[in-house]
Structure 1
Amino acid sequence: MNRSFPTITIDLVLNRNIAKDVMRAVLHSILFHRLFGTVKEQIFEILDVTMPGVDDPEIKRIVDEKVDAFWKGVEGGTTKHGQITVTLSEKRARKSWFSTGEEEVPWEQWNVTAEIRQPISDRERQKFDLDLASALTKSLKLMLDYASSEQGRAAVPPITNAIGISPFPVKMTVKIGGVEIA
């Protein structure tokens, strides 16, 4: 059975000097709003925008790994835009005649697309920073509005395992120019 699931997209245009910090803050903020275990909070300050994060060694490792892969992909390639996708799934018993076990069934996906640009003049950089701060504020509002909306609450499957920081598997993938990278 193929069930459709909500996909939320956040589009950003980033200054290369703070691109890694912004991507890290956005991914942490998504996880902060969608993890259901006991979350120790962390704060990210990006261009006077305060974004919540998750202070957990495993989450930090995964986010850093994916942001570094994204950065290497855009810096080393010809294309200066890419995407990090966060997929939240639930584990269900596999329904087939000859196999048993569990499968991960997605219930929500967040696509963070980013393009790296380098402002040339100081005036251009100031406008760029103002636009990025506005985009971060809008993305944070989107996260809050969606997570607290009826649709956002309805997307969450029943929590049957309350062990750990997340009762649901979280998978992150990085695509640069439409090609998935490790």
Structure 2
Amino acid sequence: MQVLETFAGRLIKIGVLAKRDIPSLTKYQLILARDQYRKNPPSQSVAMHQGIIEGDFALCISLYHGYELLLQMGLRSLFIYLFGIMDGPKGLTRTKNELGRNEDFMKLYQQLRDMFADTLLHLANGSVSKSTTVLENKKEFIYSHPKLRKLEEIVIGHFKSWKQGSSDKNLS
């Protein structure tokens, strides 16, 4: 939230984004505010500042997309998205620089990198799937959403019972 507050706060401070409860702000509201700004830019907004404001809107929209990923899909999805921005092909120089200067963001990003080190190997190779060697070397798999553990149990149970059922048929 502190990272979101930093960048959305800049837009609120210059008056192009209505002061709202930042956690309840949505990506769609940011897009609407940006469209409104484009239609009616404040008169004191010089062309030079317009690029900065557009960049801040783009950065906030990206951060709110990451926030939505966190809420809907979990930590691993957030990490994969942020990795794409900071270290992967998605990254834009301004975005990387802005986020790289934010201490709170960098602490969060480093925690996620440490937590999902196994994912880094596959992201670097262009694949997000897990290999058995990574799982064997890893102490404990970190589930990015609480329901994933239960889903894994159900799927494994299904295939074990299916395998046992098919081997029983082969014996008959």
In which range does the TM-score fall when normalised by the shorter chain? under 0.3
Q: Normalized per residue, which structure has more strand?
A: 1
TM-score, length basis structure 1: 0.24
Q: Select the structure that is richer in helix.
A: 2
Larger Rg: 2
